[in-house]
Structure formats: C-alpha cells, structure tokens
Amino acid sequence: MNAIKLENKEYVFPEEAKNVFTNSEILKAIHRSQHTQRNYDLSKTIPREDLKTIITSAAQCPSKQNVAFYDLHVIENKDVIKTIFECTSSRTTDGEYKGLSNSQVLSNVLLVFSIKDTIFSDKHREVLRAGFDSEANKTVMLDAQTAIGIAAGYVNLTASLLGYETGCCSCIMDTDKVKQLLNISGQPSLLMGVGFKNEGVNRRVHALYGTDSFDENWGKTAQTIKKQPINLYYVK
C-alpha cells in the first residue's frame, strides 16, 4: 500500500492506483472546489475561452441515455443576475427582506439549470423506459435531478481547475419571477454562480454585508461546516 500525504491528510491507495493520484494540481482543485464563494469581485470579466470551457462542462457531461433533461441559461447581464439573486430571499409585502438572500449567485456569471417540462411527455418516458404508471414522473424527475447534479459537479471542478470560485443555490423563493425573467416554461432547479473571489475578503462574508440591505442579526459570515469523511472501501 502507498500512502499519499495531502494537506495534512493521509490517504492510502492500493499499489496499482498509486500513479493515478499523483497530479497535485487536480487534487488541489478538488479540495478547493469544496469551498462556497459568497462574495465575488464583480469588476472582472471571465474570458470567453474560459466561459466556453465551463459551458462545455455543463452541456457535455453524462446523462442517462444522453437525454437532455435540462436547459442551461448562461447569464452575464449584471441586472438580470441581481434580480435573480433577489429571488433567493422571501420578502414582506412592503419589500423588506424576511430571510437572507443567497449571495452565492451574485456572481460574474450565473448558470441557471431548468428542468425541461417536455421530459414528462410520453415520448421521453418511452425513451427512458420509465413506463407509464403513476411512478413514471417520479422516476423521470429523479433522473433529471441526477443529471443536473452531475452537470453542477463538472462545472464545479472545471471552474476550480481554471482558478474560479463557485456557489450553488436551490432555494429559489420566487420561481415564477425567474421563469418570467428568463422566458422559460421549465422549472428552475439550480442556480450556480461562477466567478472571481474577492482578494483579501473572507469568502463566507455575505455580499450585502455593510450595506443598508444587510440585517446584522444574520451575522457577518456564513457558518462553515467541516467536510465529513467519506468511508472508502476497496473490493479486490
């Protein structure tokens, strides 16, 4: 067995796997990608080639039987991003925030994954062999959510390898507004911010901190939770 030391953690791999895990840059990117960014340097712009690479990772990742379960909306317009950001917090009738908005999405580029409503048609269910019983739509929805999860993972790692930060949000409080804004009929399922970190600023500080919109009762930084260890089992 070969032990590999990485960031104060020791991993033991089978002898035949020793060469697979020697790329330190990939390993660093994996660990880096665990971190959620809650404030971005919005003065910068992601280069087109990097953006194309990120989009490719979201659009060309695996899905069950290569079915297109979701549409991908790539948003660079700052006003649109800000409006969607505001949809992640519920408000009172007079417009006051009732809960903390999710600044993970107030990013340089925002990706919105929306589930295609056409996947629930008989044609798609036949392709998926999901049948036509009462459980069919549940099966298709599970496949769609799995596909989006895989896509988000691809984006997360790809962005990290390119040196960007990310943040995911599924708590969309005003889905109707998002659908109207993007002119879509499918359900928006996941918002994913991608962008530049603010140098010298704790990544967990909410983007609204220090503004009139921020309630001090929320606290300056978001809670951080230590990554729980994943049990690894080798079957030989």
pLDDT confidence of residue 48: 96
Residue 135, C-beta contacts closer than 8 angstroms, at least 6 positions apart: none
CA dihedral 37, 40, 46, 52 (to 10 degrees): 30
Cα atoms in the Cβ-side hemisphere of radius 13 Å centred on 62: 3
Residue type for position 196: F
Per-residue pLDDT tens digits for 178-226: 999 999 999 999 999 999 999 999 898 888 887 777 766 666 777 788 8
Which residue is it, tokens 């994943």? 230
Task: For residue range 19-66, list pLDDT tens digits in order.
Answer: 555 677 888 899 999 999 999 999 999 999 999 999 999 999 999 989
Percentage of the chain modeled with pLDDT above 70: 80
Domain covering 36-218: architecture? 3-Layer(aba) Sandwich (3.40)
**What was the pLDDT predicted at 34?**
92
The band of 1, judged by pLDDT with boundaries at 50, 70 and 90, is: very low
Residue type, 62: P
What is the residue-averaged pLDDT of the chain? 85
Domain residue ranges in the chain = 1-32, 36-218
Give the chain's radius of gyration (CA, Å): 20
Highest-pLDDT range among 6-15, 30-39, 71-80, 112-121 = 71-80
